Amino acid sequence: MSLITPAQMTQFEEQGYLLVKGLLDPQRDLDPIIDEYATVLDRLAHQLYDKGEIVSTYDDLSFGERLIAIYNDSNKVHSQYFDFSLPQKDVQPDTPFWAGPAVFNALRNQRLLDAVECFIGPEIYSNPVQHVRIKPPEARTPVNPETGYVQLGKTPWHQDNGVVLPTADDTNMLTVWFPLTEATVENGCLEVLPRSHRKKLMHHCPRVWGLELPEKVYDRKEAVPVPMQRGDVLFLTRWTVHSSLSNHSDEIRWSFDLRYHPIGQATGREAFPGFVARSRANPDSELHDAAAWEQLWRQARDHLGATENNPFNRWSAEHPVCA
């Protein structure tokens, strides 16, 4: 039996998004990720403490409170330290990232892939445009002194097709977003613009806070917030306009932001490594080794760290729509 019903697929095609409640098991599928990241945070705490950048390792705090305390004590958001992708530019030989086995298992979660198969077919490639988002409360987040904005705040309005290179414009890329902690309107859940995918790719404007669709090209009044529980999964087309709300709560908002597309289509970030997550036609091509996946990222970092690498950005701020 298909995990996605015909009625749900019709909604996805008409609205540009689909929320599937309870697709994942919080304890079986999500808790191992949380446990793994606790060790990553502990390692960061001790590294910063040993370098004298924080006054305590904050061992007695919960994960969220410990992360907030470390960010404020060091006056820096260390989001790259937790991410399982490299930054879009200026990759260095020592740029941190985390590509642990629990993260790899999440990318290859069989129930998740069963759902993905309903959208793009049985030959599934894990696209390297993928991120963990651990967003602290904005009131408790360090401010960038150069811009005056918090170092990690709400995500501006964009389309996921807009953050890859034109090589992937014809790629049937599916966004898969799910929270590891409850995502609410207060703590910064996603919001989407229904039917916005019908306009296909629009011009994005480079801003100090990231790429953004200018408000003149869409009607923000139609935005729909999408609060989610642990285990819920949100599917978006590559053209669906979406953003996240600000985190006005007192706790972190934590999520995974993944991409999949049919094998053989371009990733839009060819310098980063993807892998075959599922192939009914050639099962031997699937990657099952978490250590091998991590090594692919290390090799990509070594290569980019030794060369001049440019941002994955096609857009110009001089375009009339950005004025």
pLDDT digits over 271-297, tens only? 999 999 999 999 999 999 999 999 999
Taking alpha carbons only, the member of 101, 118, 108, 105 closest to residue 277 is: 108
Q: What is the CATH number of the domain that holds 140?
A: 2.60.120.620
121 falls within a domain = yes
Indicate the number of domains in the chain. Answer: 1
pLDDT of res. 181: 97
**Alpha carbon distance 277, 260 (integer Å):** 9
The better pLDDT of the pair 89, 14 is held by 14
List pLDDT tens digits, range 30-78: 999 999 999 999 999 999 999 999 999 999 999 999 999 999 999 999 9
Question: Is the predicted pLDDT of residue 210 greater than 90, yes or no?
Answer: no
CA–CA–CA angle 81, 292, 308 (5° rounding): 55
Compute, in degrees rounded to 10, the torsion defined by CA atoms 157, 209, 144, 309. 130
Q: By residue range, what is the domain housing residue 49?
A: 13-322
Distances (CA, A) of 193 to 22, 60, 167: 23, 42, 25
Give percent of the chain with pLDDT exceeding 70.
100
Question: Is the predicted pLDDT of residue 83 greater than 80, yes or no?
Answer: yes
Taking alpha carbons only, the member of 81, 87, 84, 161 closest to residue 309 is: 87
286 falls within a domain = yes
List pLDDT tens digits, range 38-51: 999 999 999 999 99
Q: In angstroms, how far is the first alpha carbon of the chain from the final one? A: 50
Give percent of the chain with pLDDT exceeding 90.
89
List pLDDT tens digits, range 159-172: 999 999 999 999 99
Taking alpha carbons only, the member of 10, 2, 24, 1 closest to residue 178 is: 24
4 falls within a domain = no
Q: Burial level of 299, CB count in 10 A (0-12/13-18/19+)?
A: exposed
**Alpha carbon distance 188, 136 (integer Å):** 10
Distances (CA, A) of 269 to 26, 33, 251: 31, 25, 33
Question: Is the predicted pLDDT of residue 1 greater than 70, yes or no?
Answer: no
312 falls within a domain = yes
Residues in a beta bridge with 18: 235
Q: Where are the alpha helices (DSSP H) in 177-250?
A: none
291 falls within a domain = yes
7 falls within a domain = no
In the sheet that holds 190-192, the strands lie side by side as 224-226, 190-192, 242-244
List pLDDT tens digits, range 222-281: 999 999 999 999 999 999 999 999 999 999 999 999 999 999 999 999 999 999 999 999
If pLDDT is split at 50, 70 and 90, which confidence band does 209 have?
confident
Average pLDDT, the chain: 95
Question: Is the predicted pLDDT of residue 132 greater than 80, yes or no?
Answer: yes
Q: What is the DSSP string of 7-43?
A: HHHHHHHHHSEEEETT-S-IIIIIHHHHHHHHHHHHH
Instruction: List the single range of 19-33, 97-111, 272-286, 307-321 with lowest mean pLDDT.
Output: 307-321
Average pLDDT estimate for 310-316: 82
5 falls within a domain = no
**Alpha carbon distance 135, 81 (integer Å):** 13
Residue 124, token pair as written in the block: 């599934």
- Beta-carbon count within 10 A of 242 CB: 24
Question: Is the predicted pLDDT of residue 308 greater than 70, yes or no?
Answer: yes
1 falls within a domain = no
Q: Kindly report the length of the chain.
A: 323
The better pLDDT of the pair 313, 266 is held by 266
CB 160 within 8 A of CB 261: no
Average pLDDT estimate for 106-129: 98
pLDDT of res. 49: 98
